[in-house]
Amino acid sequence: MRVISGSRKGTPLKSLPGTNTRPTSDKVKESVFNKIGPYFDGGIVVELFGGSGSIAIEALSRGMEQAVIFEKNSKACAIIKANVEKCRLGDQIHIERKDARQAVTILQQKSVKIDLLFVDPPYAEETYYDVILDLVQQGLLAEEATIVCEHEKRVVLPERYEMYQQKSSAVYGSTAITIYEKRG
């Protein structure tokens, strides 16, 4: 696993060994960023279920300014911290060792407006997608925000989260990516 493009291109990233986390493959990551970017002119990325932090790091490498990563597993947080340090992005990434369900409260306290939201919960925990609706309803997404969900291909996500409607969906092996953007 590595940073695909941008200022940190080619930097190898660590991931937690075992099955506790499921890192987004380089192929899937590259495809996602080609659809939503591929490069950015500032903004804030929020990665729920950070795992290795590779999505937030990729977004910063491609031009986002700040990132907030939520990850409750302490060992995964240590991996994220090591990856952040290796990429010299410590002043741009804030790691919250908290459950993603606490994201609304924490982001409200920080007055964060999300430009890119990446949601990739454990495949067996489909109820975590409800956090998206909570974030939308609390007005925590910026006007032109994009929501990216990584999920098992058999999982059917809703057509919309209020004013955010599915823009595209693609399958990569057993993984699916669904992208939402604001409509009307």
Give me the mean pLDDT over the 99-103 stretch.
92
Bridge partners, residue 182, by sequence: 164
- Looking at the structure of the chain, the number of domains it has is 1
Residue 15 lies in a domain: no
**What 8-state DSSP symbol labels residue 54?**
H
Let me know: does 183 contact 158? Beta carbons within 8 Å.
no
Residue 10 lies in a domain: no
Distances, alpha carbon 111 to alpha carbons 4, 60, 75, 133, 141, in Å = 30, 20, 28, 18, 11
Residue 7 lies in a domain: no
Distances, alpha carbon 33 to alpha carbons 15, 37, 104, 181, in Å = 20, 5, 25, 14
pTM (two decimals): 0.93
pLDDT digits (tens, 9 = 90+) for 117-173: 999 987 767 788 889 999 999 999 998 999 999 999 998 899 999 999 999 999 999
Over the chain, what is the mean pLDDT? 92
Whether residue 27 is predicted with pLDDT greater than 90 in this model: the reply is: no
Whether residue 20 is predicted with pLDDT greater than 80 in this model: the reply is: no
Residue 9 lies in a domain: no
- Here the CATH number for the domain that contains residue 173 is 3.40.50.150
Residue 65 lies in a domain: yes
> Which tokens is 40 given?
């950015």
> Tell me, what amino acid is at 62?
R
Length of the chain: 184
Residue 16 lies in a domain: no
Residue 39 lies in a domain: yes
Query: Residue 133 sits in which domain range?
Result: 26-182
> Which tokens is 16 given?
């937690």
Residue 21 lies in a domain: no
